[in-house]
Amino acid sequence: MPSPSDPGAAAARLTGASVRRTRPLSGAVTEAALDDGRVVIVKREDRPGAVRAEAAGLRWLGDARAVRVPVVHGHDGRWLVSERVATGAPAPGAALRLGRALAALHRAGAPAFGAPPPDGPEAAFIGGAPMRNTPGQEWPAWYAEHRVLPYLRAAVDAGTVRPVEAAVVERVCARLPALAGPAEPPARLHGDLWNGNVLWGADGHAWLIDPAAHGGHRETDLAMLELFGCPFLDRVNEGYDEIAPRADGWPGRVGVHQLFPLLVHAVLFGRAYAEQALAIARRVP
């Protein structure tokens, strides 16, 4: 009898196809070749709600018919089976197309800031950290309450940020209505858009994986992509602004949007990311 921890058995059960071979890619990710010719990725996730959140996010992003995301072939409480993307090398043309696709994705919209994907849980995740998708109508207040302050408090509780330092970030949160730029409707975000979640496909297109999808401000996705580096980022920005130019003054807002991912990383990985977040907060005029 197959083990419940066997990724091959999970792939067979969730796709209805026999598995010809498997190849581990990491501790939680396995590639499986099916007898119908498909090659799939089998991902194990034991945190309650994590698979549901990822599957719902991929489908919601795919429904926009803007960015390329892997097809979800099946999932349950522990396993996600999705299309395998054949990868190639980053290229300027692919980066330009990615920027245009992100603009179209964001324009697809969301019901509210913080809105989860349809059938997605409110208690979701960003990487290894919990993330609550609690809807709100005004971006500055929502961003402070549900994206910046929860991770700042967690970092203080862990001793990664000192209370006196936290006050610097709290002052930025209090000033967000003045810092946010013109009001915009909620965008449909990938939500964890760093370069590791961009696959440069052999087909000449960029594909997005591992979303923390929710309704948010479109500049947050772009600021995260800039924070952790992206090949040909200038072409991504060029393609984006061709389709949906950002409001004047956006370069001065990048740091505000980067506070969220930096504080998530501070909670997960420690002091170096906290220092980056504090440096950004201190530069805010």
Query: From the CA atom positions of the chain, what is the Rg in Å?
Result: 19
Can you list the alpha helix ranges (DSSP code H) found in the chain?
Answer: 7-15, 50-63, 92-107, 139-143, 149-157, 163-174, 176-179, 218-227, 233-243, 254-269, 271-283
C-alpha closest to that of 189 among 67, 93, 7, 16 = 67
Tokens of 251: 């370069």
Region label for 61, one of left (φ > 0), alpha (ψ between -120 and 50) or beta (otherwise): alpha
Q: Is 35 helix (H, G, I), strand (E, B) or coil?
A: coil
Sequence-ordered list of residues with C-beta below 8 angstroms from that of 278, at least 6 positions apart, any chain: 161, 165, 168, 169
Q: Six-digit token pair at 15?
A: 């796709």
Q: For residue 166, what are its two tokens?
A: 């936290």
Pick the catalytic residue: 192, 210, 221, 234?
192
Q: How many CB atoms lie within 10 A of CB 279?
A: 12
DSSP code, position 56: H
Distance CA 278, CA 10 (A): 44
Catalytic, 46? Answer no
As annotated, the active-site residues are 192
